[in-house]
Amino acid sequence: MSTTEGRLTSDDRREQILAAATVVFGDKGYAGGTTDAIARQAGISQAYVVRMFGSKENLFLEVARRATGRLRVAFRDVIAGFTGDETNLERQVALGRAYGELVADRGILLSLLHLFGLGQDPVFGPEARECFLDVYRIVRDEAGFSATEASEFFARGMLNTILLAMGMPERRDDPRAFELMSTSMGAECETILASVEAQASLRA
Amino acid sequence: MSTTEGRLTSDDRREQILAAATVVFGDKGYAGGTTDAIARQAGISQAYVVRMFGSKENLFLEVARRATGRLRVAFRDVIAGFTGDETNLERQVALGRAYGELVADRGILLSLLHLFGLGQDPVFGPEARECFLDVYRIVRDEAGFSATEASEFFARGMLNTILLAMGMPERRDDPRAFELMSTSMGAECETILASVEAQASLRA
DNA sequence: AAGCGTAGTAATCAATTGATTACTCACTCC
DNA sequence: GGAGTGAGTAATCAATTGATTACTACGCTT
């Protein structure tokens, strides 16, 4: 996939590399994801990956920023559609659905999770905290959630992300695993599981 | 620290290496945590770390298993103290406190978080899922929580763990950051923040 | 057709890192 | 007092990996 195309414009290639890096970093984490694996996934040489972004560190930073950017856009889109007479629960469900749709883009949420795990790092730590607070401010201020509602929303989101990162859908036969997933993901559960399965099937 | 001691028994040294590895893996993740960093933290040679556990992979597995072991013991201890006439909320708070106390052992929760991020790995993935489900079964079956209660409990736990991993306490001056932490961590908040601060201050 | 900028690579480097091997040192038990 | 055993290390290896450099190929403009 993703290959057999000839030369691309710099911008197109850049986007392609970012997409590939999002997948690889999502699976293996920052240290575990090699520039070579990213290059192979994008169908180009390792040297070009490094040259286009200057360094692996820089590439990961852009991946993370692009991921939070997607999150912010998705949330703001939903919030813009609020009429003002929804219940809080309805608003939580609407935002949750937007979150669930991001799962379709494999790696976005997982790369963010890995970023969050690097809070001790002098470069990634501050970035992680700022990214997270950025999104929190949107949900808290722009969506008009209370502190409790926002905290519950993020808590559920984190659990869902981790279940996904763990590959828990692979164990949907286990009654406890299935129960946990359907309880935590709610109405989105089937959509998410289908999305994950689609991604898994088209992997080598 | 941790050094200036002479030769230890194999078992003592083993525990010491596991403790060091828990800290290092917690900070840097599996791929990012080197056996050399672990050896330095434990005050011994890198060769000995590898020889004692056979491989880095094996060492990380033992770190993860020890971590979930601690979790299980902590939860079961609390559950054993249940009289049967607590409210569900009281039980959630009691389990939450046990969870909060594990924060004092730097790295335990963070290493687990990194394990969960490796769900795609053929070795760590199955281990991660089993570890998680193991703990879930305890909370669900032994503590007598409903699916909803258990899911809420784990959701909050995951958010707290991620806030911790991110180093969010460093931003407690930010009103939004402080609000999120105190809302999510509840009564434990001050205990946890103090514990984190203590650990930060005794770091180089 | 000559020149030039842009996309992209092959080859290579230096550093890191997990692992292995052969060795030393201290203790203990005949 | 020497043989054996367990704790621990120094030296070294082979593989990986991020980065650099010099190069090629293609398309566009004049």
A156 touches chain B (CB under 8 A): yes
Q: What is the pLDDT of residues B129-149, one digit of tens each?
A: 999 999 999 999 999 899 999
Nearest CB to A133: which of B150, B152, B176?
B176
**Cβ pair A181, A100 in contact under 8 A:** no
Residue A201 pLDDT > 60:
yes
Distance from CA of A11 to the nearest CA of B (A): 30
pLDDT of amino acid B204:
61
CA at B179, C1' at C2: how many angstroms apart? 68
Closest CA to B131 of A168, A146, A13, A50: A168
CB–CB contact B147 A31 (8 Å)? no
**Cβ pair B145, B153 in contact under 8 A:** yes
* Chain A 162-181, residues with CB within 8 Å of chain B CB atoms: 162, 164-168, 170-171, 174, 176-177, 179-180
Spatial neighbors of B65 by CB under 8 A, at least 6 apart, are: B127, B131
The one-letter amino acid code at A167 reads G
Is strand D in 7 Å reach of the CB of B13? yes
Residue A1 pLDDT > 80:
no
pLDDT of amino acid A88:
87
Distance CA B98, CA A179 (A): 24
Closest CA to B201 of B176, B173, B179, B169: B169
Residue B103 pLDDT > 50:
yes
Q: Which of chain A's residues have a Cβ under 8 Å away from the Cβ of B116?
A: 162, 165-166
CA at B164, C1' at D20: how many angstroms apart? 38
Distance CA A96, CA A154 (A): 10
**Cβ pair B25, B11 in contact under 8 A:** no
Please compute the mean of the pLDDT values over residues A112-134 and round it to a whole number.
Answer: 98
Please compute the mean of the pLDDT values over residues A65-93 and round it to a whole number.
Answer: 94
pLDDT-derived band at B202, boundaries 50, 70, 90: confident
> Footprint of strand C, using CB within 7 A?
A 6-10, 13, 43-48, 51; B 33-36, 46-47, 50-51, 54-57
Is strand D in 7 Å reach of the CB of A123? no
pLDDT-derived band at B6, boundaries 50, 70, 90: confident
Q: Which of chain A's residues have a Cβ under 8 Å away from the Cβ of B133?
A: 171, 174, 176-177, 180
What average pLDDT is seen over chain B?
94
pLDDT of amino acid A95:
95
* Chain B 52-91, residues with CB within 8 Å of chain A CB atoms: none
B117 touches chain A (CB under 8 A): yes
Protein-covered nucleotides of chain D (CB closer than 7 Å) are: 6-11, 16-22, 26
Protein-covered nucleotides of chain C (CB closer than 7 Å) are: 6-11, 16-22
Residue A177 pLDDT > 80:
yes
Q: What is the pLDDT of residues B8-45, one digit of tens each?
A: 899 999 999 999 999 999 999 999 999 999 999 999 99
